[in-house]
Structure 1
């Protein structure tokens, strides 16, 4: 027998989903809206008016906290990877299709591990946001590629199909307008990441199942039976 054994039963599929607390600046408590085909990974938190569409993948240890700035919108087939944080400033929003949002993330977007998306901001369709990148108080249009560690802030708008280099700080519109176009390699990579995470969302949903205990945690019955038999 392996020396690495599970001790008792673990809530290995736990996550926290809750309405926001009532405050003076956010007086309405709203529970997240999550499409049944979306997958929420273990140890993630989703709080407040967060609207998650179909086939979205939320990675482990992610925090989507619409308790100050609100609401958040995450469109179809987008992936929010491990350790990503979404939060927004109160009373600061952008408008999309005549509705206001603290954070709006479009279709088939990838937000890579450790990134910070802080509202008010918009991330356009088919955009890739790299590891540990920061987007705050900005608009990123469709099909952009933000490389790892880049910072976008100060109210700038990144035009469509632009490449933001590794570690770049884009804090003026002049810098944003001077960015080069996305390469075919970056575009292909971004599409591949989206495709992989759509498949992961579907596969994890099948593995984890929809069964929940009375404590609110989800579990897979086969895994629990395997633990019983060890």
Structure 2
């Protein structure tokens, strides 16, 4: 479903998702409220993108939101006043959740704002990103928890890691030419762009 949010003391305005026509939202997915989806995005069955509490939520061009992914955020206003601690600023604009371009959010990942995931990053299955900033060209392997940290560009987070201090985040390994998952995101982005295009074409028949 694609729908508007409701008003409350933490959401004074009714907003409707803004979705580029080249992006596809499966009928079994939910995109609600103050959400902006860029170009060529695939939102798979059972994904939930809810801009009805923390807002806005942004997903950039050529990204994918796979089955069971949740994108949501803590409240970003109370009684009409912004809750700054629950907002991240990217390129001069403030967001509850910002997902960059060519980002893959794999099955059952949770991006819970305030949170940022920058361009060309792969977020693995059952990952939680909460109150965290993830840089460009990163790989977050499956079942990782990131809470309250900044992950620098070009790092990977080993499977099952729980990263809760900045010291732990600063010690994460860099992606090297022999890292086995270094190019995986490119393939995932390609597949999901093709799926979005294909499903849209089917709808138009």
Q: Shorter chain as normaliser: what TM range?
A: over 0.9
Larger Rg: 1
Comparing 198-207 and 127-136, the one that deviates more: 198-207
The match for 2:35 is: 50
The match for 1:189 is: 184
Once residues 191 and 45 of structure 2 are traced to their aligned partners in structure 1, the CA distance between those partners, rounded to angstroms, is 16
1:119-143 Cα distance to aligned partner (Å, 9 max, x none)? 0000000000000000000000001
The match for 1:158 is: 151
- Do structure 1's residue 28 and structure 2's residue 21 form an aligned pair? no
* Deviation, structure 1 residue 183: 4.1
Once residues 18 and 183 of structure 1 are traced to their aligned partners in structure 2, the CA distance between those partners, rounded to angstroms, is 43
The match for 1:71 is: 56
Once residues 125 and 202 of structure 2 are traced to their aligned partners in structure 1, the CA distance between those partners, rounded to angstroms, is 27
- Do structure 1's residue 124 and structure 2's residue 124 form an aligned pair? no
Once residues 176 and 69 of structure 2 are traced to their aligned partners in structure 1, the CA distance between those partners, rounded to angstroms, is 25
Once residues 127 and 97 of structure 1 are traced to their aligned partners in structure 2, the CA distance between those partners, rounded to angstroms, is 18
The match for 1:108 is: 102
Q: Which has the higher strand share?
A: 2
The match for 1:205 is: 200
* Deviation, structure 1 residue 51: 0.1
Cα 1:189–1:183 shift into 2, 3 Å: farther
1:97-121 Cα distance to aligned partner (Å, 9 max, x none)? 1110000000000000001110000
1:164-205 Cα distance to aligned partner (Å, 9 max, x none)? 010101111001000001244312111111111111111111
* Deviation, structure 1 residue 19: 1.1
Normalising by structure 1, we get a TM-score of: 0.82
The match for 2:82 is: none
Once residues 23 and 176 of structure 2 are traced to their aligned partners in structure 1, the CA distance between those partners, rounded to angstroms, is 30
* Deviation, structure 1 residue 42: 2.6
Once residues 138 and 71 of structure 1 are traced to their aligned partners in structure 2, the CA distance between those partners, rounded to angstroms, is 16
Which of 160, 163, 176 is equivalent to 1:167?
A: 160
Aligned residue for 2:112, secondary structure, equals strand
Aligned residues: 194
User: Unmatched 5+ residue regions in structure 2?
Assistant: 77-85
Aligned residue for 2:14, secondary structure, equals coil
User: Unmatched 5+ residue regions in structure 1?
Assistant: 1-15, 210-219, 221-230
Normalising by structure 2, we get a TM-score of: 0.92
Which of 81, 84, 87 is equivalent to 2:66?
A: 81
Tell me which of the two structures has the higher relative contact order, counting C-alpha pairs closer than 8 angstroms and 6 or more residues apart: 2
* Deviation, structure 1 residue 207: 1.4
